[in-house]
Amino acid sequence: MNFFEAQQQARQQSKRLVLLFVLAVIAIIMAIDLVVVAALLANSDDAAAGLTVGQTLAQHTGTVLLVSLIVGSVIALASLFKIGTLRSGGAAVAQSMGGTLISAETTNPHHRRLRNVVEEIAIASGVPVPEIYVLERESGINAFAAGFTPADAAIAVTRGALEKLKRDELQGVIAHEFSHVLNGDMRLNIRLMGLLFGILVIGIIGRKILEGMRHARDSKGTAPIFLIAPAVMIVGYVGVFFGRWIKAGVSRSREYLADASAVQFTRQSVGLAGALKKVGGLPEGSKIENVAVEEVSHMLFGSGMNFSSMFATHPPLLERIRRLDKSFRADQFAVIAKQWSQPVDVLALDAALGLGQGLDQHLGLEAQPRSSMTTKPPPLPDVRRDIEVQPRAVSSHVGAPKQGDFATADTIQNHIPPLLLAAARSQRSADRVIYALLLDADTDIRTQQLAMVVAHCGGEAQAETLMMREAVDTLHPMQRMPLAAIAFPALRRHPREWLQGFMQLIDELIHADGQQALFEFCLARLMAIHIVEALDPSRARVIGRSKLVHCEQEVALLFAVLAHAGHNSTVDAQRGFQAGVQLLFAQRSIVMPDSSGWHTSLVPALTKLDQLNSAGKQLLIEAMVTTISHDGCIAVAEAELLRVACAALHCPLPPLLAR
């Protein structure tokens, strides 16, 4: 299953979820209506008169309709309230579970290792680096990803996972969670939380009413309530029964997909299998002690709590392991328990196996030697050399990073100067990194830009920006966008007003020389996409409904921009444009539009194209690659434009284009 199929399946699952929820609500309303009618019949003269339930219902139609309206409104408002509390995205879920945000200044080696792994996988996936939380009070091995889109995602990992998992096992767990990010599961999971909370509220209300009536004095007047309250409570918890069943059915298939994606990503099943084996072998397993665990059980790497098989949100653990290691036997759990029940220094094990690369330079330690089992990350491509690509291979690469991307991300991340990494991770200095990326080579223009920085941020920011620019000059072009991605979590923690001023300053820095270079457009657009979604994550629509035939003008403009960026002559650009257009609109003759003002006109075009359905986006990306690489190759700068266009379409493209 590729990225587009997974996204479409997630959308279908969302429709199924809403349908099942509506049916469950209707059933709950009807059950409570029957309870109310029965209570009215039992507490009036209707029973003595020999009236049936149907006749009583006819006599009290207004009351029944009012009860139906109240119950439906309570469920709807409770669901909306819950979803509203999660509007800020993944961070709200992580914090509700007691998560502690990893700070840029942390000296905890476990936290640093986790951040190193998360950043590496984010770069390899082509998505913004998420916020990273640790559940310090949880000794079980577990993790989850939460959010509406990758731009507001948060990754949370338990203390037990950090202390019990080796680096390759931790990588397997994080890759599993990133699969949920890429496959569109996060938005589905948050909707599950909100909708099921509305059903649960009915049971809670019945219980509270019953508790409040214990000390009531007028037993005759309160008799109907004494009859209705326990029945409402029972009906509500029957609704919870069906809610859990719905959640389990939606969640289990997505877990198999995430396991398979994680193995494809890391190109080894040992790490993920090792983590699952420790979950099964250790006494703590994947248990979460937080009382709110049921709300997030469908998001977790492991089950988090004991459910019967009917309500299990995850496939059987042994089955998950055997899909990765066919030779594993259940009696081997005892061996794992014996080996890992006592405290083990996993960081020392990593160092002994040569798995501590990347962590050492961030800790300021002498680099540990690599094991012969590990391979040296590949060098980044020569900036003067073009990349040969195939359109179908690139589209299949979207949202489906491979082991080569992981190795490339390792190279990209671990060769960024420590000064820039530290600054990018800090909320105080992350913006200076972006300013440094935008400083012009011309001395006069740079002086104007620095004056703008001083006006917005003060004199201290000027000195820091200049210092970082010296480090930026040493970067490979493929490291610039990933550096911005690393800075993003720190940037998005600023308030809305600050972020609006930040985006205004970026625009001023770009236009200081009266023009906009390709890299400047790409960086500004990437920041704008992610910051807008981080400010209002619940409004972002990752999967649209539009078809290509309704976006002909926008496609033509995009292809004209790509054609001019990917070819040196007007004739070659025209040929590239027509090749891409013919792939989408074979029966139509489309003239290449004037793209001289593309810096402003391309933004609304990409916004409309983002509303395409999954099949349309897949075809569009293949045609985009056909256009920009009509001469058979893509330069690094052109690949950045392609990657930003894909990001605007919510189709994350890994850093190393598939050939």
Active site residues: 177
The DSSP bridge partners found for residue 134 are: 100, 157
The structure tokens 């139609």 sit at 61
Instruction: For residue 576, give every residue at least 6 positions away whose Cβ sits within 8 Å of its Cβ, in sequence order, or none.
Output: 559, 562, 563, 566, 567, 626, 627, 628, 629, 630, 631
The answer to whether the CB of 634 falls within 8 A of the CB of 628 is yes
Distance CA 363, CA 366 (A): 9
For the record, the structure tokens of 518 come out as 């390709």
For the record, the structure tokens of 171 come out as 């990588």
**How many residues in total does the chain contain?**
659
Distance CA 216, CA 222 (A): 8
Distance CA 459, CA 659 (A): 47
For every residue of 199-267, DSSP letters joined together read HHHHHHHHHHHHHHTTT-S-TTTTHHHHHHHHHHHHHHHHHHHHHHHHHHHHHHHHHHHHHHHHHHHHT
Helix 270-281, helix 317-324: angle, nearest 10: 150
For every residue of 112-133, DSSP letters joined together read HHHHHHHHHHHHHHTSPPPEEE
For the record, the structure tokens of 579 come out as 């090749």
The alpha-carbon radius of gyration of the chain (Å, integer) is 28
The answer to whether the CB of 633 falls within 8 A of the CB of 657 is no
For the record, the structure tokens of 283 come out as 């006494």
Distance CA 353, CA 266 (A): 17
Q: Which among 155, 99, 111, 149 has a CA at the least distance from the CA of 132?
A: 155
Distance CA 296, CA 95 (A): 12
Distance CA 632, CA 409 (A): 25
- Supply the DSSP symbol for 591: P
The structure tokens 């403009």 sit at 557
